[in-house]
Amino acid sequence: MRLRDATWTDVRDCETDLAVVPVGSTEQHGPHAPLGTDVVTAEAVADAGIERVDHEVACAPVIPIGVAEEHRQFPGTMWVSAETFRNYVREAVESLAHHGLDRVVLVNGHGGNVDALREVGGRITRDGDAYAVPFTWFEAVGEHSAEMGHGGPLETALLRHCAPELVREDRIDEARAGRAEGWGDWVSYSNLAYDAAEFTENGVVGDPQAGDERRGEELLELAGDALARLLEAVAERDVSRPERRE
Ligand SMILES: [Zn+2]
């Protein structure tokens, strides 16, 4: 059930307590991939996970702006502070919990959101308002995960599978020419760079040519299967806090 398309009576009559909130970002993804890449991928993975489970799941509209100041030198990038983001996610989850949708998986498409989502998930859960746990798709795709990058092989592959019209194929050579091979500028296990523009000329990290449509299909299958397993686990879990158990 997508909340965007459902009516309030549909929600009143549904039996489930399980919800998904896709979380994206609006930020540069190189010259070849759209600013909304993380919105598209988060929604696609959320759909793929939900369609694999027997439980009814309420799917909220995507949260489209996240913690992305590290891309601020690239036009069109939007961001909010981690504090604003955490508060927004928390209140959005609380509104779901108000209707009994109090087991929530935050399906994330953006690396910059990871720490804030983990933190807010813990806060929501410990305070007893709901149970909330983040899932970041590119951490859940097996050996592919090591090649994540940015606008690189994984994201470009998933876009080629889910929304090929959004990939500017005629700019792939340009994307490859200005790319970095890895994220950050590391010395003694410290990342000296705060902004992506310090280590990548055009915002790309990794080779977008290494992610064809077939790979995107496999990524969606892996991420969808992983999310489905998580949804089943969250549905079955004793989410009461240990200190409140008998
Ligand atoms: Zn991205």
33-50: pLDDT as tens digits: 999 999 999 999 999 999
Q: State the distance from the centre of ligand 1 to the C-alpha of 135, rounded, in angstroms.
A: 15
Looking at the domain assignment, is residue 14 inside a domain? Answer: yes
pLDDT of residue 128: 86
Q: State the distance from the centre of ligand 1 to the C-alpha of 121, rounded, in angstroms.
A: 21
Looking at the domain assignment, is residue 246 inside a domain? Answer: no
pLDDT of residue 129: 85
Instruction: Of 63, 46, 32, 23, give the one whose Cα is nearest residue 155.
Output: 32
Domain region containing 226 = 8-238
The span from the CA of 82 to the CA of 42, in Å, is 19
174-216: pLDDT as tens digits: 999 999 999 999 999 999 999 999 999 999 999 999 999 999 9
Q: State the distance from the centre of ligand 1 to the C-alpha of 210, rounded, in angstroms.
A: 16
- Place 117 in a pLDDT band, splitting at 50, 70 and 90: very high
Give, in degrees to the nearest 5, the angle at Cα 87 between 82 and 93.
125
Looking at the domain assignment, is residue 176 inside a domain? Answer: yes
175: domain CATH number is 3.40.50.10310
Looking at the domain assignment, is residue 243 inside a domain? Answer: no
pLDDT score of 243 more than 90? no
Q: State the distance from the centre of ligand 1 to the C-alpha of 246, rounded, in angstroms.
A: 44
